[in-house]
């Protein structure tokens, strides 16, 4: 099995600067994609190793730090000191920057030739650096404009481009053929009067681009961040899986997705689901539903006794009924699932269809330190519970990944911190 972490990936893309994502194939042609929320490249790198990831896409602001995670760096990563694609190849971690293909592929699909064209890149961060490198290597005459001129100058020196300050854009933009905007949303430095129908504009912003309306009024070609996302994802997907992607399916997947109303927490026993659920529910102002507690109340006995008396198959049947009832409820809730819920194919499908599924992750060793083994029948029956926990988690890992929308590590975070991180990430996804 291989596990891929992918941010900005073609299946579930991210607009969050602290969001990674992951895909986990159990076979050569089977992949499960999910987001991974981390707050540093170091944390992402730790999870890469701990979970046995085979690939990871990285979003800003961690692209420079991520370039230090690998033993082998591609030429564009060396030139830009920015990595958005980390892949395990022949047991070696390799860094790539597929953002350059996001720019080139977008323009190629729009029928825009680059060689010999005058190009203006707004912004000298990770995306701006990739755009400048891509356009220059494709034969464009590139000027990088940035608020901090020294940063633009350093980028220009590393890529062979020219540089300017944002205050100089008024004199440059009308004379260019291609404009690539990588400035933050809300920073608008292009006057509509400077644009002509022959301009081609690429904007790294996914939604709400101020340039889009201007381009449409003038009649320019306009490419938004979804095009960039798609075309950077094509080589990343191929590099991760060795399989040429279905680009048309990827296009459909980059469209805005309506998120379900429920939030479900999945993960191994001891990961913190039951503790986090009521805290997150309180933040959202909705009820929390604990599947194990509900099942205990209905059956009149605790879970170990239920399994002991009726068997695991009976327990799973009752668990399925309770969880499906919670997912079918009209009012939104935060649902804490049992550790094995996501391992049932039907429940995994229901969870994905009816809820935002968050995988709370901690290593089996850490999880075991948080629970009483005697209350866990699947572990208590073994002479070596630690080994049993590790083996059980390994069996479930792909199934968690296949079900999850996002992974958050609860290993070094309090329940309050985990709850806040989930709240923040879901809010960003909903609000764009």
Give 88's strand partners: 93
Annotation says 93 is catalytic: no
**Edge-to-edge strand order for the sheet containing 19-23?**
72-73, 92-96, 85-89, 53-57, 3-5, 19-23, 33-37, 406-409, 355-361, 262-266, 334-336, 288-290
DSSP state of 5: E
CA distance 413 to 407: 13
- What is the distance between the alpha carbons of residues 137 and 160, in angstroms, rounded to a whole number? 9
Q: What are phi and psi of 85, to 5 degrees?
A: -140, 115
Query: Which is catalytic among the residues 15, 63, 117, 273?
Result: 63
Distance separating alpha carbons of residues 379 and 386, to the nearest angstrom:
8
The answer to whether 49 and 71 have CB atoms below 8 angstroms apart is: no
C-alpha 174/C-alpha 411 separation (Å) is: 53
- Name the token pair of 268: 């191994």
Residues with active-site annotation: 63
């Amino acid at each position: 099995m291989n596990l891929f972490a992918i941010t900005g990936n073609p299946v579930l893309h991210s607009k969050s600067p602290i969001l990674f994502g992951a895909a986990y194939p159990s076979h050569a042609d089977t992949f499960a994609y999910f987001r991974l929320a981390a707050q540093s490249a170091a944390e992402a790198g730790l999870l890469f190793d701990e979970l046995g990831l085979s690939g990871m896409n990285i979003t800003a602001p961690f692209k420079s730090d991520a370039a230090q995670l690998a033993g082998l760096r591609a030429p564009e990563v060396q030139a830009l000191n920015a990595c958005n694609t980390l892949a395990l190849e022949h047991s070696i971690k390799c860094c790539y920057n597929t953002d350059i293909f996001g720019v080139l592929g977008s323009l190629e699909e729009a029928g825009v030739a680059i060689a010999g064209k005058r190009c203006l890149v707004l912004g000298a961060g990770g995306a701006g650096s990739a755009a400048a490198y891509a356009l220059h290597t494709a034969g464009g005459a590139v000027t990088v404009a940035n608020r901090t001129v020294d940063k633009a100058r350093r980028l220009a020196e590393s890529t062979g481009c020219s540089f300017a300050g944002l205050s100089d854009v008024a004199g440059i933009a009308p004379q260019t053929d291609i404009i690539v905007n990588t400035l933050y949303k809300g920073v608008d430095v292009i006057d509509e009067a400077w644009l002509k129908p022959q301009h081609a504009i690429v904007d790294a912003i996914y939604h709400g681009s101020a340039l889009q309306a201007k381009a449409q009024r003038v009649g320019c070609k306009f490419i938004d961040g979804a095009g960039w996302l798609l075309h950077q994802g094509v080589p990343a997907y191929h590099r991760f899986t060795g399989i040429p992607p279905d680009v048309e399916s990827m296009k459909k997947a980059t469209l805005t997705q309506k998120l379900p109303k429920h939030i479900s927490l999945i993960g191994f026993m001891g990961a913190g689901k039951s503790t986090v659920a009521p805290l997150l529910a309180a933040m959202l102002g909705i009820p929390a539903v604990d599947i194990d507690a509900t099942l205990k109340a209905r059956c009149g006995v605790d879970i170990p006794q239920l399994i002991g008396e009726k068997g695991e198959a009976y327990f799973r049947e009752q668990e399925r009924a309770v969880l499906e009832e919670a997912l079918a409820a009209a009012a939104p809730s935060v649902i804490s699932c049992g550790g094995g819920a996501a391992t049932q194919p039907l429940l995994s499908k229901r969870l994905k269809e009816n809820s935002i599924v968050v995988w709370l992750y901690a290593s089996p060793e850490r999880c075991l330190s948080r629970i009483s083994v005697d209350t866990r029948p699947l572990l208590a029956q073994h002479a070596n519970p630690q080994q049993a926990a590790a083996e059980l988690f390994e069996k479930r890992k792909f199934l968690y990944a296949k079900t999850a929308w996002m992974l958050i590590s609860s290993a070094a975070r309090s329940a309050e911190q985990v709850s806040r991180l989930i709240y923040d990430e879901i809010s960003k996804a909903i609000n764009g």
